[in-house]
Amino acid sequence: MTPMLGIMSSGGYPRTFSVDYLVVAGGGGARNGFSAVANTGGGGAGGLRCTVTATGGGGTLETALTLSPGTNYTVTVGAGGASGSNGSNSVFSTITATGGGAASDLTQGFTGGSGGGGTASSTTFKGLGTPYQGFNGADGTTAPNYYGGGGGGAGQLGGVTTNAASGGNGVATSITGSSVTYGGGGGGGNDVANGGTGGGGAGNATTSGTGGSGTANTGGGGGGCRDVGTGGAGGSGVVILRYADSKTITIGAGLTGTTSSPSGGYKRTTLTAGTGNVSWA
């Protein structure tokens, strides 16, 4: 894909230019256990929006933003959710990815970018994902297994991988120049349930154990726990920007990020924490 040169001003210099993006929100945390056979579900992955290779929730690939030099554009990298809390939203300019849904309270996994899994009990309902960002979590199960439901992933429903409690898989994108997967859901509790590919934390089968945390800067959901264990935290999100290598980005105060060397006609800036502005010259 050839970088867009933008609309030319009367002086012959580009007045606008195109920026591709990957915006991944923080993953949802899994609730701590609170009684026997009430094993908790996995946290849902952070919502994922992308203009390169694939986007979240089975949606159509998004369209690059047309921006102007010398203008500030807001970026927020969403934090992962603590135990029982949704992840935080990530933002680039007009694009917002929704934080992953926590898993779960006594009745239902929480709605988010991807939905949290349900608790294993008589009330086992999944949390719902946000359309075109992520998928639903899975319901928990009752006797005989009492699995907490897997958290939804950016690319797949919770509970549809290797067993009933696994987290949904994420989405692979090549925006960095190589294929990387983001947005895996957390595995459910009371089973050694896999987290979804793309940073989802594994579920825990030990009575007082701790679910795996989502991987930082993937938006992965936290893994659920058994009985009175500890739910895993969600992984933080990430914002990755790809633009013509003729442009120079300024990363403002409050943001943590790095910019790659030019490759294939592009530079790539990866923002891994904070809130602030970016601009280009």
pLDDT at 8 over 60: no
For the chain, the average pLDDT equals 91
Main-chain dihedrals φ then ψ at residue 279, nearest 5 degrees: -150, 165
What does the alpha-carbon distance between residue 58 and residue 220 come to, in Å, rounded to a whole number?
17
For residue 10, is it within any domain? no
For residue 196, is it within any domain? yes
pLDDT given at position 14:
57
* Rounded mean pLDDT, 254-260: 98
Give residue 34's pLDDT band: very low, low, confident or very high (50, 70, 90): confident
pLDDT given at position 55:
98
pLDDT given at position 7:
41
First to last CA, the chain: 22
Tell me the pLDDT tens digit for each residue of 69-82.
999 999 999 999 99
Give residue 39's pLDDT band: very low, low, confident or very high (50, 70, 90): confident
For residue 271, is it within any domain? yes
Where is pLDDT greater, at 149 or 120? Answer: 149
Q: What percent of the chain has pLDDT over 70?
A: 90
DSSP string, the chain: -PPP--PBPTTSSBS-EEEEEEEEPPPPPBPPP-STT-PPPPPPPPPEEESSS--GGGPPPPPPEEE-TT--EEEEEPPPP-TT-PPPPEEETTEEEPPPPPB--SSBPPPSSSPPPPPSSS--BPPPPPTTT---------TTT-PPPPPP-SSS-TT-SSSTTPPPP-EEE-TTSS-EEE-PPPPPTTTTPPPPTTTPPPP--STT-BPPPPPTTTTPPPPP-STT-BPPPPPP-EEEEEEETT--EEEPTTEEEEEPPPBTTEEEEEEEEEEEEEEE-
> If you compute the radius of gyration of the chain from its CA atoms, what whole number of angstroms results?
19
What does the alpha-carbon distance between residue 217 and residue 55 come to, in Å, rounded to a whole number?
16
pLDDT given at position 4:
40
pLDDT given at position 65:
98
Give residue 219's pLDDT band: very low, low, confident or very high (50, 70, 90): very high
pLDDT given at position 6:
41
For residue 13, is it within any domain? no
Task: Please state which of the ranges 57-66, 168-177, 192-201, 202-211 shows the lowest mean pLDDT.
Answer: 202-211
Main-chain dihedrals φ then ψ at residue 12, nearest 5 degrees: 90, 5
For residue 160, is it within any domain? yes
For residue 5, is it within any domain? no
Say how far residue 213 (Cα) sits from the centre of its chain: 13
Task: Please state which of the ranges 4-18, 141-155, 168-182, 210-224 shows the lowest mean pLDDT.
Answer: 4-18
Give residue 37's pLDDT band: very low, low, confident or very high (50, 70, 90): low
Domain encompassing residue 239: 19-281
Contacts of 186 (CB under 8 A, 6+ apart): 27, 28, 30, 41, 42, 43, 44, 45, 103, 117, 150, 151, 167, 195, 196, 200, 201, 202, 203, 211, 212, 214, 220, 221, 222, 223, 224, 232, 234
Give residue 5's pLDDT band: very low, low, confident or very high (50, 70, 90): very low
Tell me the pLDDT tens digit for each residue of 108-146.
889 999 999 998 875 568 999 999 999 999 988 887 778
For residue 6, is it within any domain? no
For residue 11, is it within any domain? no
Tally of structural domains, the chain: 1
Tell me the pLDDT tens digit for each residue of 152-197.
999 999 985 445 589 999 999 999 999 999 999 999 988 778 999 9
